[in-house]
Amino acid sequence: MKRTLARIVSLDERSLALLRIGLALLLLADLAVRASDLRAHYTADGILSAVDWVRLNADSPFPVLHLAGDAVWFQALLFALHALAALALLVGYRTPSATLVCWFLLTSLHLRNQMVLNGGDHLLRSVLFWSCFLPLGAVWSLDSQVPPRRVAPPKTVVSLAGIAYVLQMVLLYAATAVHKLHPDWTTDRTALYYALNIDHFTTRLGKMLLDYPDLLPLLTGLVFCAEAAAPILLLLPFPRMRVVTLAALAVMHLSFGAGLRIGIFAWSPIVCLLGLIPSQAWSAWPRPAWAQSLNEKASRFNAKLGRRERPRPFQAPVLVTAALLLMLALNVYNLRAPNEQPPRPVAFAARLLGMLQSWNMFAPYPPREDGWIVVEARTRQGDTLDPSRNGKPVDWTKPELVSATYKNQRWRRYLLTALLPRYEEYLRLYLEYLVKEWNRSHADQVVRATLYYMRETTLPDGRESPPEKLFMVEVTP
Amino acid sequence: MILDSRSLALMRRAVGAVIVLDVLLRSRDLTAHYTDAGVLPRTLLWESDFWSSLWFSLHVTHGHALFQAVLMALQVAAAVALVANVRPRIATAVSLVLAWSLQARNPLVLDGGDTLLRLVLLWGLLLPWGEREPRRLLTPATVGYTLQISVLYWFAAAFKLAPAWTSRATALYSTLALDQFVTPLGRLLWGHPELLQWLTRGVVALEFTAPLLLFIPRLRPAGLVLLACLHLGSALVLNLGLFPLISLVALLAFLPSRLWGALEPPLETSRKQWLPALVLIALVVWWNAGTLSPSLRPPRPVQAVALLLHLEQRWNLFAPEPFTEEGWYVAVGTTTDGRQVDLFRLQGEPVWEKPSSWSVFHPNQRWRMYLQTLERTEDPALRTRLARWLAARWNARHPDRKLAWVQLYFMAETTLPDYQVAPPRRVQWVELNVGDTSSHG
């Protein structure tokens, strides 16, 4: 019994190393995408200045370092530090500290602008947290080549943080599946039909899929079954089954990414699953010839730096236990009432550790309403233009591919959240930002701008209601 | 320009001790000065002229007192490390960043001593003040630091090239007439107009010449004694908070080797870090020149770099002309049942007469600087916030007698020559209805 349990929660050092490399690459890619909106999303010149942040948010118990300075140089400095830490993580240099810095800066970055986040961000942050306490740098790293050289073969490790990590991945799918207990997903199986009709997300490929209405219920059932079965399959002590499960889940997430523009959400679960690869999968692969020379290079590099001590993962059993219980509690509360805050102490602890999570995308059922945004701006000289489309004339017709009108997932996330009634203030900030940007670089100043939402309702059987023009917000600078 | 490593080490220890003292003194006003519940919430700070959009401050990331207390504890820890010479480089860097951060959180309460403290810390990054071996040191940083300290006195003196300090020589008379600053000893001195005239001119002459003596090894002790007298003297007659103490601490680096023993330690010269030292001193001189005359002001990018390093400074102490107007404050609260109360004294009816002690309004130097800033900047938003804060303080202590109205008055008194007394003028700063908003945070 004990051995079986150990087999379930034991993690292979090579898988953890792969997880480390994946996390680092994902962080670097995420930072690169975010850096393209550095000014717009994280500074005083952008949408959400620190002043507005303080006005609209309660103070976070987690220190938000990204609020300390609102100038471009300061945010760029933090991004550079963050990228350096991610590079250190990539090569496994002082892995535990690098992981901790990556996690701290990522949490702070997330809190600086929560409007641009999605489930992929929450998962990445959580797995980075557990990684601080896991031996991510035991192999394939600079750390592993600090003398004295180790001769023992890679081993598997069982630890409290490892259990928490396995549980996090299991909970991700279990919670998603429970959230989806709705006829749309179970009996009617219309969920994918509606999901793919949300034009904000659908790619060209996703649109093509809509032409095969018979296929959609089948795929809906497949997704639901996969997400419901994954927690069980991941917890069974059969290595081969786990490999198949992981591969299937990866294919599923890649397909999501192909059909829907969901940004980091397509990649983050795949990367986070890497640590679960069982040892047996590695024994099938011969050790490549270049590994030896790479190790020697790493040793020489360490010698040059005069490194003598191999860093060990942080040991904090009390903290890990508390965080583990907190994660379980959060998911339970979230399943019971997805739209309610957990009790105050739990919510406080979750915010303190940057642990907030809920896995309910397209659940319990995909929304029926979607649409596109049109901004109508009037200039001093009496012209009418749309500053959200580079000042082209206002066009009320539906864009050919709505999902392509967003620069990237971060902007899509911001706007879709801001369209919800209780985030109206954020929509105003967006419109003010558009006007400010336009007026900064154009002589003919915008004097009034109005944001409309052209809302469509998806009807069954491939029909769509005619769009309604909804007035959302107006600014007069 | 040669500094003894032991003198530098002493200065490092003293700087650490002063930081501890400063933080402890500030911690008395933790909530009032550094949180969103105080007189300067972050939103008000960011929208005021006192914040530069280029700055960063760890203290603005959170509005609650607990967080500020944690940062202050960190600052004390770094300062203790400075005293104990534990990892002096890191301790200096952390102390510097936290000093910048704390000072940027509330620039309204700052005085010249704060400016000097952050300058000394910045030079401390370049100065070899963690050196354990006795050495006489001649490095770009020691040269730069000597210049830095002299430059401060010279610009302070240059601001004083005005009739009040030279031909008329009435500056000390006007300064000691400021009730909020003057000590009992200063009051005594104020009664001797001829002596005051001599001292006025003496201060200008001293500020010009004494720093010169720092450059001549044989005369340096004389220069130190003169400058020390200046600061001790000013501390005796005026309440200037930690400013005189910090000024003395900044001079410790110049203590001669002879003080530490008969043997002269070996001279060590180095040219390392000449570039940062040169840039730093150039920025300091340029910035100061700009404060003297707008035509000498550095271009925007240079200003930006100076602001980033918190080199902003202005050594116009009581110059070119000391203020000739000061005053006390009356905060009248009207309770919902129509009675008038004094919001500074928190008891009894409003007192309009000049108080015998000003500590009701400013129990310490920080409050004094804060109220002075409100007086000078005439920013209605800052004054309104003070009125709100006073009202919230009253309401918290008297939940059964809530306020409906607050009026804040400044009772301006002009200093006239020859001990004449002008009647005070009543200036209304704020009139505020606080009845319908129950909590002001």
DSSP states along B353-374:
SPPS-GGGT-SSHHHHHHHHHH
Show which of residues 294-323 on chain B sit within 8 Å of chain A, judged by CB atoms.
Answer: 308
Nearest CB to B47 within list A51, A65, A70 = A51
Tokens of B224: 């130190």
Whole-number Cα distances in Å, A221 to A180, A187, A224, A251: 11, 9, 5, 15
| Residues 6+ positions from A290 with CB-CB distance below 8 Å | none
What Rg value do the Cα atoms of chain A yield, rounded? 24
Yes or no, beta carbons of A67 and B46 under 8 Å apart: no
Residues with Cβ within 8 Å of A24's Cβ and at least 6 positions away in sequence, in order, are A86, A87, A89, A90, A102
Q: Do A64 and B61 touch (CB under 8 A)?
A: yes
If you average pLDDT over residues B176-189, what whole number do you get?
A: 93
Name residue B238's beta-bridge partners: B182
- CA pair distance B79, B91, nearest whole angstrom: 7
Q: What is the pLDDT of residue A3?
A: 82
What pLDDT is recorded for position B438?
47
Taking Cα atoms as reference points, which of B236, B245, B206, B237 lies closest to residue B223? B206
On chain B, the residues whose CB falls within 8 A of the CB of A68 are 56-58, 60-61, 101
Q: Which residues of B touch A65 (CB under 8 A)?
A: 58, 61
Q: Is the pLDDT of residue B173 over 80?
A: yes
Test mutation, A39, A70, A77, A109, chain B, max B CBs within 10 A: A70
Task: Please report which confidence band the pLDDT of residue B263 belongs to, taking 50, 70 and 90 as the band edges.
Answer: confident
Are B382 and B108 in contact by the 8 Å Cβ rule? The answer is yes
- What are the tokens at B166? 């030279």
Q: Helix, strand or coil for residue A426? A: helix
Token output for A331: 């998911």
Note the pLDDT of residue A150.
66
Q: List residues bridging with A11 in a β-sheet.
A: A157
Helix boundaries (H) for B127-183: 140-159, 171-176
Quick one: pLDDT at residue A152?
Answer: 73
The two tokens of residue A470 are 């909804």
Q: What is the DSSP letter of A198?
A: -
**N- to C-terminal Cα separation, chain A:** 69
B356's tokens = 């015998």
Per residue in B371-400, pLDDT tens?
Answer: 999 998 989 999 999 999 999 999 999 999
Residue from B342, B320, B316, B321 nearest B331 by CA: B342
Torsion region of A375: left, alpha or beta (phi above 0 gives left; psi -120 to 50 gives alpha): beta
**Is B63 near chain A, with CB under 8 Å?**
yes
Are the beta carbons of B61 and A65 separated by less than 8 Å? yes
Distance (Å, rounded) from C-alpha A201 to C-alpha A224?
A: 20
Rounded to whole angstroms, the Cα distance separating A11 from A156 reads 5
- For residue A51, what is the nearest residue in chain B, using CA coordinates? B43
Greater model confidence, A147 or B283: B283
Q: Which residue of B has its CA nearest to A71?
A: B54
Q: Where are the beta strands (DSSP E) in B40-147?
A: 136-138
For B342-368, the pLDDT digits (tens) are 999 988 899 999 888 888 888 899 999
d(CA B165, CA B150): 20
Partners of residue B62 in chain A, C-beta under 8 Å: 59-60, 63-64
pLDDT less than 50: residues of chain A: none
Handedness of CA A148, A152, A158, A162 (dihedral sign): positive
Please say whether the beta carbons of B410 and B371 come within 8 A: no
Question: CB atoms < 10 A from the CB of A318, how many?
Answer: 7
Measured between CB atoms, does B35 come within 8 Å of chain A? Answer: no
Peptide bond into B134 cis (omega under 30): no
Task: Enumerate residues 6+ apart whose C-beta is below 8 A from A293.
Answer: none
Contact A79, A31 (CB under 8 A): yes
CA atoms of A30 and A433, how far apart (whole Å): 23
As separate numbers, helices (DSSP H) first and strands (DSSP E) second, chain B gives 16, 7
What was the pLDDT predicted at A363? 83
Which amino acid, one-letter code, is at A147? P
DSSP lists the bridge partners of residue A156 as: A12
Q: Flag whether pLDDT at B437 surpasses 70.
A: no
Residues of A in contact with B64 (CB under 8 A): 59
Residue A27: Cβ-neighbour burial (10 angstroms; 0-12, 13-18, 19+): buried
HSE on the CB side for B99, CA within 13 Å? 28
pTM equals 0.92
Q: Identify the bridge partners of residue A469 per DSSP, sorted by sequence position.
A: A454
What SS3 class is residue A43?
coil
Helix count and strand count (H, E) for chain A: 19, 6
Tokens of B274: 């000449």
What separation in angstroms does the CA of B103 have from each of A121, B112, B113, B118, B250? Answer: 35, 12, 11, 9, 19
Among the listed residues A321, A317, A245, the one whose alpha carbon sits nearest the alpha carbon of residue A277: A245
- In this structure, the number of other CB atoms found within 10 A of the CB of residue B428 comes to 11
Percent share of chain B, pLDDT over 70: 99
Using the beta-carbon criterion (under 8 Å), do A63 and B67 form an inter-chain contact?
A: yes
- Sheet with B325-335: strands ordered across: B340-342, B325-335, B403-414, B425-433
In A392-432, beta strands by DSSP E: none
Contacts of A247 (CB under 8 A, 6+ apart): none
Which conformational region is residue B309 in: left (phi greater than 0), alpha (psi within -120 to 50 degrees), or beta? alpha
pLDDT of residue B440: 45
Q: Give pLDDT, residue A285.
A: 81
Q: What radius of gyration do chain B's Cα atoms show?
A: 23
In this structure, are residues A351 and A360 in contact, taking their beta carbons and an 8 Å threshold? no
Task: Tell me the C-alpha distance between A416 and A117, whole Å.
Answer: 11
Please check whether residue B66 touches A, CB under 8 A: no
Question: Closest approach of chain B CAs to the CA of A99, in angstroms?
Answer: 22
Task: Specify the pLDDT at position A477.
Answer: 83
pLDDT of residue A336: 86
- Chain A CB contacts of B309 below 8 Å: none
**A68 vs B63: CB contact, 8 Å cut-off?**
no
8 A C-beta contact, residue B173 and residue B196: yes
Reply yes or no on whether the pLDDT at B315 is more than 90.
Answer: yes
Q: What gap in Å lies between CA B353 and CA B342, rounded to an integer? A: 12
CA distance B411 to A371: 62
Q: Which amino acid is at B208?
A: F
**Token pair 């082209």 in the structure block, residue:** A392
**E-strand stretches of A113-255:** 156-157
- Using alpha carbons, list the distances in angstroms from residue B266 to B2, B134, B138, B256: 11, 8, 11, 14
- From the list B43, B56, B64, the residue facing A69 with the nearest CB is B56
pLDDT of residue A58: 87
Tally C-beta pairs within 8 A across A and B: 46
Q: Cα separation of A85 and A46, whole Å?
A: 26
Sort B380 into a burial class: Cβ within 10 Å, 0-12 / 13-18 / 19+: exposed
* Cβ neighbours of A466 (radius 10 Å): 7
Q: What is the pLDDT of residue B436?
A: 64
- Per-residue CA distances from B284 to A123, B278, B290, B316 (Å): 49, 10, 10, 15
Which of A423, A422, A411, A415 lies closest to A371, judged by CA? A415
Q: Are B172 and B193 in contact (CB under 8 A)?
A: no
